[in-house]
């Protein structure tokens, strides 16, 4: 090791002051570039990626909070709709049919508290969506259904509805 250092010192001494100054500046430039690319740049990249990850987490948290608030609002609306069960079955069915633009031709209550409903010729998809809506929003279920297809996606139905359990 001493031989190597002695060799470097002798080579340094052989250089002119101008060459020594240029080599010192070159060594400083190499040290600066090395410290930048080996230390500073990786630290800055790490900080930027950590900041991006933090911003993404905050955004996901906000989206989750909004989703939870929507879910709680839906639950509150469902509870409020369940509280409307005191209204007559005929009123709820007619209201939901009007909201979904489903033409009803006749509604006849029976002695068991059920409601017999006949629909005009309408879209089968709309009919199924109405039945699903009645179940989800008001807890009214179809006990029996007779659905006749009329072509072109149309159907006519006779359905017996009642309030579901709960």
Question: The tokens of 95 are what?
Answer: 């209201």
- What pLDDT score was predicted for residue 150? 85
Average pLDDT score, the chain: 88
Q: Is the pLDDT of residue 132 over 70?
A: yes
Q: pLDDT (tens digit, 9 = 90+) per residue, 71-125? A: 887 777 766 655 556 788 898 898 888 888 888 999 999 888 899 999 989 888 9
* Confidence grade of residue 26 (pLDDT, cut at 50, 70, 90): very high
Residues 19/20/21/25 CA torsion (nearest 10 deg)? 100
* Confidence grade of residue 164 (pLDDT, cut at 50, 70, 90): confident
Question: What are the CA-CA distances from residue 114 to residues 45, 46, 76, 156, 163 (Å)?
Answer: 69, 67, 27, 20, 8
DSSP the chain: -HHHHHHHHHHHHHS-HHHHHHHHHHHHHHHHHHHIIIIIHHHHHHHHHHHHHHHHHHHHHHHHHHHHHHHHHHHHHHHHHHHGGGS-HHHHHHHHHHHTTPPEEEEEE-TTS-EEEEE-SEEHHHHHHHHHHIIIII-EEEEEEEEEEEETTEEEEEEEEEEPP-
Q: pLDDT (tens digit, 9 = 90+) per residue, 37-67? A: 999 999 999 999 999 999 999 999 888 888 8
């Amino acid at each position: 090791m001493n031989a190597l250092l002695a060799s470097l010192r002798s080579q340094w001494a052989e250089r002119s002051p101008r060459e020594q100054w240029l080599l010192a500046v070159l060594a400083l430039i190499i040290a600066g570039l090395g410290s930048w690319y080996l230390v500073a740049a990786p630290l800055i990249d790490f900080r930027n990626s950590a900041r991006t990850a933090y911003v993404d987490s905050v955004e996901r948290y906000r989206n989750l909070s909004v989703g939870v608030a929507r879910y709680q609002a839906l639950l509150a609306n469902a509870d409020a709709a369940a509280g409307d069960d005191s209204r007559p079955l005929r009123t709820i069915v007619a209201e939901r049919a009007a909201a979904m633009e489903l033409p009803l031709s006749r509604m006849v209550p029976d002695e068991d508290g059920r409601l017999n409903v006949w629909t005009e010729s309408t879209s089968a998809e709309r009919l199924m969506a109405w039945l699903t809506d009645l179940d989800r929003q008001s807890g009214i279920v179809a006990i029996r259904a007779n659905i006749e297809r009329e072509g072109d996606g149309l159907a006519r139905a006779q359905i017996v509805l009642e309030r579901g359990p709960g």
